[in-house]
């Protein structure tokens, strides 16, 4: 087996140590895994690493068993003390609140046994089977399929038994000689689904420098989303080893100047577009804090009153900068699910705010009373970025939150074979019961789920109260057997 693994972090995190994509492998057993930690989660890069490292040690491709494994990892993750080591109560409070949200990641694991290939995945990661001139992607066939898969594996949903078997996709295939398997995280997968010819470029990369220039060019020309990049190219029938093409240990992208927040005050649209840029500032703030502490010690010898004033100012800067970049979204935007019609949150009294969905302004709040509520004109699909930009006196800051997928979104429903009924417009109780049994036989996890049937659809209500409706036209057919009339039952002598 010959394997090439390429990885590069996005420019906004500067250093490779901050990459949230993770991979792991056990080449001797033919097991590989990739995961993409979600930026919005708490320490998602650590969670993603737990998923891939543990999977390659004890791989399983049965979704229910994998969920149980992931629940154990989530429990271990929650028990770890990953918080920032500081005596500052503001930092500790913010860290604890963010920790309560938990970590999120998408995942794909694969295994090669003889000429068999099997995979299991959840979320917007993708694989590609290259066979000669033919390319087959899995489990997603199109960009829409990829983007609509919101199967994030969250530590809290796992611990609360809210991750369902239906959000996992698994399949197996028989490989032929010279087949190639490619595993890719979302950004590069999106490009490969759109431009299949890029796969040939990837297959010919043979050094980190060529890979780096290739990705950099795609970023500069705006053809590739600026995100962490992970690519695993696996040739099962070819003799070789695993070669990893990673950034040098001393490499980092050049850091940018701090954004001008005063200018952003009068440009709310630009401000929301730069919210993610503001998150970078926490690293710079730490170095500034170290320098300020040095100045603090010098002043302490000269004037205790000046020291007190500096302490207050320093705490204010730290608290303001940290809150605007790291404090959990519920202070500004409460959780939003894909089936919600109302969003809400809390902002300072008297402040103005702009609410955005995918960077398009949808509402404006003026002279807030503290809590805000917005009746949405439409529900937003899972993965939509909701942003709030707050203008409070001379301060300007913002926050973003991603619309979360419901169990109805992530459940991979299998439609059973249609059953025949006498009158599709008026099902009998026995026909409804047969219809439910037929659906559950193909979807075992629905056994304890509320299912109702009306005149046009079968309706499933999941434990999180999200709903999925299936048209009866997909489930039933009118019986072709004609009922015998009274006259048909009479016997007549033939003349």
Domain membership of residue 258 (yes or no) is no
| CA dihedral sign, ordered 48, 53, 56, 60 | negative
Residues 154 and 104 sit within 8 Å (Cβ to Cβ):
yes
3-state secondary structure of 112: strand
β-pair partners for 21: 36
- Is residue 463 a part of any domain in this protein? yes
pTM: 0.57
**Low-confidence residues in the chain, pLDDT < 50:** 261-281, 283-288, 290-292, 294-296, 298, 317-318, 320-330, 485-495
What confidence tens digit (pLDDT) does each residue in 282-331 have?
544 444 454 445 444 545 555 555 555 556 555 554 454 444 444 444 45
Range of the domain at 49: 2-245
Whole-number pLDDT of residue 106: 97
Asked if 342 and 474 sit in the same domain, the reply is no
DSSP 193-260: HH-TTHHHHHHT--SHHHHHHHHHHHHHTTSS-SS-EEEEEEETTS---EEEE---TT-BPPPPPPP-
Q: Which of 388, 405, 422 is the last residue of a domain?
A: 405
Q: Which of 447, 444, 442, 434 is nearest to 477 (CA)?
A: 434
Q: Is the distance from CB of 464 to CB of 407 less than 8 angstroms?
A: yes
Is residue 62 assigned to a domain?
yes
74 in the same domain as 25: yes
Return the ∠ at Cα 387 (arms to 94 and 259), rounded to 5°. Answer: 75
Instruction: Tell me what pLDDT residue 315 has.
Output: 59
Whole-number pLDDT of residue 55 = 97
16 lies in the same domain as 164: yes
Pairwise CA distance, residues 191 & 203, whole Å: 15
Domain match, 344 and 457 both: no
Would you say 74 and 155 are in contact if contact means Cβ atoms under 8 Å apart? yes
Whether residue 47 sits in one domain with residue 174: yes
- Do residues 137 and 237 share a domain? yes
- Domain membership of residue 378 (yes or no) is yes
Question: pLDDT exceeding 90 applies to what percent of the chain?
Answer: 49
Whether residues 389 and 437 fall in one domain: no
Q: For the domain that residue 452 is a member of, what is the CATH number?
A: 3.10.20.890
Number of domains in the chain: 3
- Chosen domain end from 372, 405, 438: 405
Q: Hey, what are 55's tokens?
A: 């999977």
Q: Tell me: do 134 and 42 sit in the same domain.
A: yes
Q: What is the pLDDT of residue 236?
A: 95
What is residue 331's predicted lDDT score, i.e. its pLDDT?
57
CATH code for the domain in which residue 346 is found: 2.60.40
pLDDT at position 272 is 44
């Amino acid at each position: 087996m010959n394997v090439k693994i390429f990885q590069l972090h996005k420019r906004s995190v500067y250093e490779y140590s901050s990459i949230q994509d993770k991979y792991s492998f056990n080449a001797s057993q033919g097991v590989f895994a990739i995961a993409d930690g979600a930026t919005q989660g708490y320490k998602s890069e650590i969670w993603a690493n737990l998923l891939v490292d543990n999977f390659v040690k004890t791989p399983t491709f049965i979704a229910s068993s994998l969920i149980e494994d992931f629940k154990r990892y989530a429990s271990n993750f929650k028990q770890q003390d990953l918080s920032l080591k500081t005596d500052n109560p503001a930092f500790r409070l913010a860290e604890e609140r963010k920790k309560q949200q938990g970590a999120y990641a998408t995942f794909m694991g694969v295994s090669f046994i003889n000429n068999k290939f099997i995979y299991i995945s959840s979320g917007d990661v993708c694989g590609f089977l290259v066979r000669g001139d033919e390319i087959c992607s899995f489990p997603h066939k199109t960009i829409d399929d990829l983007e609509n898969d919101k199967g994030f594996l969250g530590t809290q949903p796992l611990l609360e038994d809210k991750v369902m078997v239906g959000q996992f996709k698994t399949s197996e295939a028989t490989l032929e000689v010279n087949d190639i398997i490619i595993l890719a995280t979302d950004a590069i997968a999106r490009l490969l689904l759109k431009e299949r010819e890029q796969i040939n470029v990837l297959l010919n990369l043979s050094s980190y420098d060529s890979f780096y220039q290739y990705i950099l060019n795609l970023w500069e020309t705006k053809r590739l989303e600026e995100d962490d990049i992970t690519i695993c190219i696996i040739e099962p029938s070819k003799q070789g080893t695993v070669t990893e093409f990673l950034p040098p240990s001393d490499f980092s992208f050049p850091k940018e100047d701090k954004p001008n927040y005063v200018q952003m005050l009068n440009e709310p649209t630009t401000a929301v577009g730069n919210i993610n840029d503001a998150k970078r500032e926490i690293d710079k703030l730490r170095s500034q804090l170290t320098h300020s502490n040095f100045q603090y010690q010098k002043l302490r010898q000269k004037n205790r009153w000046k020291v007190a004033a500096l302490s207050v100012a320093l705490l204010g800067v730290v608290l303001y900068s940290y809150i605007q970049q790291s404090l959990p979204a519920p202070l500004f935007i409460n959780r939003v699910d894909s089936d919600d019609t109302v969003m809400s949150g809390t902002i300072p009294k008297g402040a103005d705010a702009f609410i955005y969905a995918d960077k398009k302004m949808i509402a404006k709040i003026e002279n807030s009373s503290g809590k805000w509520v917005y009746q949405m004109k439409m529900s937003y699909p899972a993965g939509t970025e909701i942003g709030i930009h707050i203008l409070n006196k001379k301060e300007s800051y913002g926050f973003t939150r991603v619309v979360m997928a419901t169990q109805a979104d992530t459940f991979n429903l299998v439609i059973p074979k249609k059953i025949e009924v006498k009158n599709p417009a008026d099902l009998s109780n026995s026909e409804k019961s047969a219809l439910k049994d037929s659906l559950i036989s193909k979807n075992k996890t629905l056994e304890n789920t509320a299912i109702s049937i009306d005149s046009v659809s079968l309706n499933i209500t999941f434990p999180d109260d999200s709903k999925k409706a299936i048209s009866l036209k997909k489930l039933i057919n009118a019986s072709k057997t004609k009922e015998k009339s009274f006259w048909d039952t009479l016997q007549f002598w033939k003349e």
